Amino acid sequence: MDRVFIKDFPLDALETWVQGIGERPFRARQIFRHLYNRLIRSWDECSDLSKAFRTQLEYGTRLDAVETAATEDATDGTRKFVFRLHDGKLIESVLIPDPPRLTACVSSQVGCALGCRFCLTGTMGLQRNLSTAEIVDQLVHMQQAVGAERRITNIVFMGMGEPLANEEALLRALRILLDPTGFGFSHRRITVSTVGLVPQMVRLGRESPVNLAVSLHAADDETRNRLMPINRKYPLATLMDACRAYPMPSRKRITFEYILLKDVNDRPEDARRLVRLLSSVRSKVNLIPFNPHPDLPFERPSEERVLAFQDILHQAHLTATIRQSRGADIRAACGQLAARMVSS
Ligand code: SAH
Ligand code: SF4
């Protein structure tokens, strides 16, 4: 019999599973606490479970869905993790210290099918979706690596892949991460970033209270079509309708990510168009100066250009922050994640 990945199960599914092997449902809570509070590395650490049950867990399940293949530390404290999956494929995740926060940037797919022109992950194509266990285990392993004194405070789904193209596994992972019996993250501290897959956005809004970030990158269809093939399927009007309809408690806003590409979308008229586009949505803007790479055909705008763009948004009373590039010296910055497919 194939062993199950224990981290695939939200609490209710785990209850069903433990009952299936003849245990009482409350055992699921104990297991959940061991997995996501105590961050056990072996079933031997669970002394409140009988020896017989531990043996069943040992032989019937897989505790790890990823293993750490390498870590790399940037000069600014950012740490990149390369994780190996059971089929040998590699993904990357990043831990970004920004006291008092410690943000984990996690992957949702191996590669990505959506082919945005400015993104290194996009150049890989899609290899496969991650399972729920593979998503959750990135966080377990990163938290184990930093130790109990420093808790991960925030999670962003901005690593490799398009989370809403892997929605089933994502929604299950979110339920595990939000469950107070386990990690117990607040929905205010988890952000899912999407290129704007409209039907999946609607479902996410219905089923999960986490924050939404939309990768916009252009405020007109012509430019967005050129940068992001998905815009032909869900053009701006459709996307913005979905954003306006997005269910949000009163204090929440949608974050719109906007990569600034020199002479492509960074002119004052682009900023003004962005202001008009966002005028009817509860929004904030995150400006991301492009992180260049030899394989990508764009340049980063000058600092003055970035500040002038931000200024136009500020004058229109839009909240607009500039994302500081972190971990650039180890290729951990936004859009630079593309695990080299070396097997070892
Ligand atoms: N697929 C999702 C989430 C992963 S991409 C999405 O696109 O939203 C995470 C962020 O990195 C996105 O905002 C993306 O636009 C940004 N990004 C990609 N390539 C980049 C680059 N070369 N420089 C800066 N940011 C980049
Ligand atoms: Fe995929 Fe996001 Fe990269 Fe676009 S920016 S190719 S959606 S990972």
Contact 93, 106 (CB under 8 A): yes
Can you tell me which residue has the tokens 């245990």?
Answer: 23
Q: Is residue 92 flagged as an active site residue? A: yes
CA of residue 161 to ligand 2 center, whole Å: 6
Q: Are strands 90-98 and 79-85 parallel, antiparallel or unpaired?
A: antiparallel
Tokens of 54: 């531990």
Domains of the chain and CATH, by start: 4-62 (1.10.150.530), 66-330 (3.20.20.70)
% residues pLDDT > 70 (the chain):
96
Q: Which of 60, 63, 12, 17 is nearest to 36 (CA)?
A: 63
Q: What are phi and psi of 81, to 5 degrees?
A: -110, 130
Residue 131 half-sphere exposure, CB side, CA atoms within 13 Å? 17
CA distance 322 to 65: 35
**C-alpha torsion angle, residues 189, 192, 196, 197 (rounded to 10):** -130
More confident residue, 328 or 263: 263
What is the pLDDT averaged over residues 154-180?
Answer: 98
**Angle, in degrees to the nearest 10, between helices 26-36 and 11-20:** 120
Nearest ligand to the C-alpha atom of residue 261: 1
Q: Which of 205, 331, 195, 305 is nearest to 257 (CA)?
A: 195
Sign of CA pseudo-dihedral 45, 47, 48, 54 = positive
Compute the radius of gyration of the chain from its Cα atoms.
Answer: 21
Strand partners, 192: 157, 212
CA of residue 19 to ligand 2 center, whole Å: 40
Is the distance from the beta carbon of residue 111 to the nearest atom of ligand 2 less than 6 Å? no
Q: Report pLDDT for 341.
A: 47
Contact 50, 23 (CB under 8 A): no
Q: Which atom of ligand 1 is nearest to the CA of 214?
A: 8
Q: Which atom of ligand 2 is nearest to the CA of 109?
A: 8
Nearest ligand to the C-alpha atom of residue 115: 2
CA of residue 49 to ligand 2 center, whole Å: 43
Q: Report pLDDT for 339.
A: 64
Q: pLDDT band for position 327 (50/70/90)?
A: confident
What is the pLDDT averaged over residues 8-33?
Answer: 97
**pLDDT reading at 87 higher than 80:** yes
Ligand 1 contacts (CB < 6 A) are 118-119, 158, 162, 193-195, 215, 257, 259, 288, 290-291, 334-335
Ligand 2, pocket-test mutation among 108, 112, 129, most atoms within 8 A of CB: 112
Quote the Cα angle for 22-27-33, to 5°: 150
Q: pLDDT band for position 335 (50/70/90)?
A: low
Contact 121, 131 (CB under 8 A): no
Q: Is residue 112 flagged as an active site residue? A: no
Tokens of 142: 């990163």
Rounded to two decimals, the pTM is 0.96
CA of residue 239 to ligand 2 center, whole Å: 16
